[in-house]
Amino acid sequence: MANVVVVGAQWGDEGKGKIVDWLSERADIVVRFQGGHNAGHTLVIDGVTYKLSLMPSGVVRPNKLGVIGNGVVIDPWALIDEIAKLKTQGIQVDRSRLRIAENATLILPLHRELDQLREAAAGTGKIGTTGRGIGPAYEDKVGRRAIRVQDLKNLDTLGPKVDRILVHHNALRRGLGQPEIVKDELMRQLVDVAPKILPYMDCTWDLLDRERRAGKRILFEGAQGVLLDVDHGTYPFVTSSNTVAAQAATGSGMGPGQIGYVLGIAKAYTTRVGSGPFPTELTDDIGERIGQRGHEFGTVTGRKRRCGWFDACLVRQVAKVAGIDGIALTKLDVLDGLDEIKVCIGYTLDGERIDRLPAGHNAQARVEPVYKTFEGWKGSTAGARSWSQLPAEAVKYVRTIEELIERPVTLLSTSPERNDTILVKDPFED
């Protein structure tokens, strides 16, 4: 049995939450390995909608263990709020359902404030962050001054660590014309939140190793998408963590040899939130129609997503750098009823044909898509659970995408409902 990693194969918002939840029925443990509460996963189960940010998607299923790994940055107050909201929906989150890595970095109020101050100061040059403090928290982690979950266990020795982080942040705040952070107030906040978080703390790398050796199936849940990877994405309009499948090993404490199958999630079209290049973006009525039919608004921020045609050139590139074995194609039903559908098969850059997105953001902004045009379909794909229920033109569209991205479609999602999924290959059966 293979352990499976799920990553977004575009700019995030590909429908990972539903796919991870669908796969979690076959898994024993679901692990988040990067990002923070800037990620948003929407699950629709028996007509009930669950909106998750930090929590692993499998948490809504009984008898599944969710793990927040060391690669995640955790806002403890946001986590407490999310647990409380799930409780109102009948989901009781206790230690049997959730464990948090003792060496995970905490997002503090000062990180949120710095994130928002920087974005406001950047004006037209802003990155388009969610303002949740993700980037500044990762900066402190790399700068070796972060407060981690395990630090909450030893409050008597926390003072010098707070001093160290405040030396850095108060210097930044003075430069931005902001009042300094008062140490006593930050200490009070940490003392208050500690007993609410510590019951979930564990040595999760050891836990995962024991469960793996016991034969348990582990599902690794990525956040955002590979095109937002800090190394391989459309830099600088990216997130502050690595979103490729290799991060599942680093961000959980399991060796890369324990990853069996990498499943990439891609929409049948493309969306993006925030700033940055988007070669196939549609700013016409078709783009508006796709956005309305696909309910393309951010789970976390509510921001309207930019919409465009499927970019096979980009997804093929992502499949290579992320080590994707197969694709779960989502939201095919959003394209129902269009007279024609286009797919980007390459680009031109300053008049020259290229087959990849260049690394420089100035060049990325200048590329022009080269399209292949398909006949649309009039029949409905919504709710289909077998290939025979799909219009012939829709099947042709999916098969051509497989050829263009050089990866098979192993799952096809035809609605937000968990069971409206066509399974071609079970990723857990390696």
Q: What is the pTM of this model?
A: 0.91
379-412 per-position pLDDT tens digit: 999 999 999 999 999 999 999 999 999 999 999 9
Q: Which amino acid is at 69?
A: G
Model confidence at 209: pLDDT above 90: yes
Pairing of strands 306-308, 270-272: antiparallel
Q: Which token pair is 167?
A: 């030396």
d(CA 359, CA 350) in angstroms, rounded, equals 15
Cβ(130)–Cβ(282) under 8 Å?
no
Catalytic residue (one of 37, 41, 111, 169): 41
DSSP 2: -
73-93 per-position pLDDT tens digit: 999 999 999 999 999 999 999
137-148 per-position pLDDT tens digit: 999 999 999 999
Q: Which token pair is 213?
A: 């050796």
What is the reported pLDDT for 300?
61
What is the reported pLDDT for 171?
96
On the 0-12 / 13-18 / 19+ scale of CB atoms within 10 A, 180 is exposed
Q: Which amino acid is at 214?
A: A
32-53 per-position pLDDT tens digit: 999 999 877 777 777 788 888 8
146-175 per-position pLDDT tens digit: 999 999 998 889 999 999 999 999 999 999
Q: Which residues contact 70 (CB under 8 A, 6 or more apart)?
A: 101, 103, 104, 204, 205, 251, 252, 253
The reply to whether 41 belongs to the active site is yes
Please report, for residues 47, 245, 258, the alpha-carbon distance to residue 221 in angstroms, rounded to integers and kept in the order given. 23, 9, 15
More confident residue, 246 or 304: 246
What is the residue whose two structure tokens read 């001093």? 163
d(CA 83, CA 52) in angstroms, rounded, equals 10
64-74 per-position pLDDT tens digit: 999 999 999 99
Catalytic residue (one of 13, 140, 325, 420): 13
